A and B are shown apart, each in its own frame.
Chain A
């Protein structure tokens, strides 16, 4: 046990104490608080909570590394994970807020007047959130494993216990304010190393302005090393894969149940629009910094690591080689490390940066705490989504309509624990790297909820049969494509598993429209409700007339 370990551990424990303190303070008493935090959180705070909910282990730990390894092609993640907020804020969030339900399956069930649609939506919520949380848990495994210098598997198990504990304990109300705190910690932890690196490498403390110069320098450096150009487009995949992945991430964003439910916590349609704007600003702070991280780390690796004698590599490399995340092999036996002789896992770039830039123990500990905040906050939101789908939509709305509040709360808590443990078991042997697993969750969301929600809000003719057909077709196509592309080597126009959402979404929209038109139109009252979503709360549409209250 060295000093670094003690410093990191105390910072993490201090941050946890803060989260748990907030959760206890807000301990949810009623179910309405448990799910949507008793409506009425300001757009500014809600923006931070959305941002923390949103920025997962994949964003915090994995994204900078992904960009460093993929070059320009990695930017699909940057644009995809931010651009989706426009679809969400323009097309869905305010309208869903006016419709006023607790969960996404509840909206789908009531809008389409169908228990079958509700059931499918609840199952889709569980599938999407479950896949997503596998990525989070394996991310927390990387952090805890590195910190305690244990195997990532043991780290994952510790993460499971932590997440199950506080998601089941606090509910959404605890989680909203906890997430605000988590956002603050994670963004500070993310920005400090990149600001210092910017200062060290360029003399300018503002990374967003300074790293262009570094990116520009790569042209020459890459030529000298004889490797492919960092900024050249479409080297790691086809242009169509880039576009398909970007679409998948955007549409998936607008269809993720645990993000949408955040917009139910604001008071009005106007507040929903402002929440979306603040959320993207807070998210943008991290997403605009990730490519800077990538550029700086790559620059340091080229300058200080590549071309060195293997026996004289910087000290930080050793610890990462021990975890198996950094592999070095002297392939040509000259005792000097070439770029090609190094294999870096994209999960370590952010975690290793403070060590690479020699920023000291406190910053290293802070980054570990920030990464934990990112993994836990998203996992917490996901677990609430899973438990509300099960306890509220399936158990209460379908199976046991007269269940008592206490009873439902108990079912919600049990389902959180069960889901966390199950996801943890899968995360012990993750089926892909974090960013990839997360992209699958987005593909499924883009193929099931995105079409059902957009058509449900904007097209009053869409009916139950259409929605059911759309969700099932979308689910089948996206899952089928992911499996066929990952395990069967199947691809269309070079689009691999992570871009599956484009096919699923198009198929689902087509199925929804065709089946809706072939079957009976929805009831008059539902059509009026959909028409009503065109206007702000104060205007109501009724019997073909608009009323002002």
Chain B
């Protein structure tokens, strides 16, 4: 076990949090944002749908799925950048399994 610079650890945390904040802003806009202004999208059409209906039925859900995969991938890259090894993580969590 070796000590690492607190600044490095904080930088790791900040990167992850920034990612989450960006994703949650997008999440909010495609769902709550579109609903709030649904009436103004009524006359736009997309693939046959009125735009507000398309967002509710498909657009928002597809965005959610894509965001989750981007999050998983980008977080993996951040882990790599900070030298986190998944094997080591697995080993550590296995050891942490509760004994009761």
A contact set with B: CB distance below 8 Å:
32, 39-40, 72, 75-76, 78-79, 82-83, 85-86, 89-91, 97-98, 100-102, 208-209, 211-216, 231-234, 239, 242-243, 246-247, 250, 267-270, 273-274, 276-277, 280-281, 284, 287-288, 291, 396, 534-541, 544-549
Contacts and interface: CB of A to CB of B under 8 A. Distances in A.
A86 B2 contact: no
Nearest to B4: A548
Contacts of A232: 42
B48 A86 contact: no
Contacts of A538: 84-85, 88-89, 92
Most A CB atoms within 10 A — which of B8, B9, B24, B90? B9
Interface in B50-78: 50, 52-54, 56-58, 60-62, 64-65, 67-69, 71-72, 75-76
| Chain B, interface SS category | helix
B33 to A, nearest CB: 11
B65 A281 contact: yes
B9 A546 contact: yes
B61 A102 contact: no
A269 B38 contact: no
B89 to A, nearest CB: 4
A423 B82 CA distance: 50
A537 B9 contact: no
B90 A215 contact: no
12 contacts: A40-B94, A78-B61, A79-B60, A86-B67, A239-B38, A268-B86, A270-B72, A274-B72, A288-B61, A535-B9, A541-B9, A546-B6
B31 A79 contact: yes
B93 A242 contact: no
Contacts of A208: 58
B56 A284 contact: no
Contacts of A78: 56-57, 60-61
B34 to A, nearest CB: 9
Given A212-B46, A239-B35, A546-B3, 19 more contacts: A76-B35, A79-B56, A86-B23, A212-B47, A212-B48, A212-B49, A267-B89, A268-B90, A270-B76, A270-B86, A273-B71, A281-B68, A284-B62, A287-B61, A538-B89, A538-B92, A539-B12, A545-B3, A549-B88
Contacts of A540: 1
Contacts of B57: 75, 78, 288, 291
Contact of B98 (A102, A268, A547): A102
Given A270-B79, A546-B4, A90 B23 contact: yes
Given A82-B64, A90-B24, A216-B45, A537 B39 contact: no
B68 A276 contact: yes
Nearest to A100: B96
Contact of A268 (B27, B32, B61, B93): B93
A239 B36 contact: yes
A32 B46 CA distance: 51
A383 to B, nearest CB: 22
B interface residue count range (under 10 / 10 to 19 / 20 to 34 / 35 or more): 35 or more
Given A78-B57, A239-B36, A39 B94 contact: yes
Contact of A284 (B54, B65, B92, B93): B65
Contacts of B89: 267-270, 536-538
B36 A537 contact: no
Contact of A72 (B16, B53, B92, B93): B53
Interface in B1-33: 1-6, 8-9, 12-13, 16, 20, 23-24, 27, 31-32
Contacts of A243: 32, 35-36
A211 B46 CA distance: 12
Nearest to B97: A39
Contacts of B75: 270, 273
A215 B27 contact: no
Contacts of A213: 48
A100 B89 CA distance: 13
B3 to A, nearest CB: 6
B1 A547 contact: yes
B53 A231 contact: yes
A32 B27 CA distance: 36
A288 B58 CA distance: 6
Contacts of A287: 61
**Those 3 A-B pairs whose CB atoms lie nearest each other, nearest first:** A212-B48, A75-B56, A546-B9
A277 B79 contact: no
A281 B83 CA distance: 29
B52 A233 contact: yes
B60 A277 contact: no
A270 B79 CA distance: 9
A15 B72 CA distance: 34
Contacts of B3: 545-548
A272 to B, nearest CB: 9
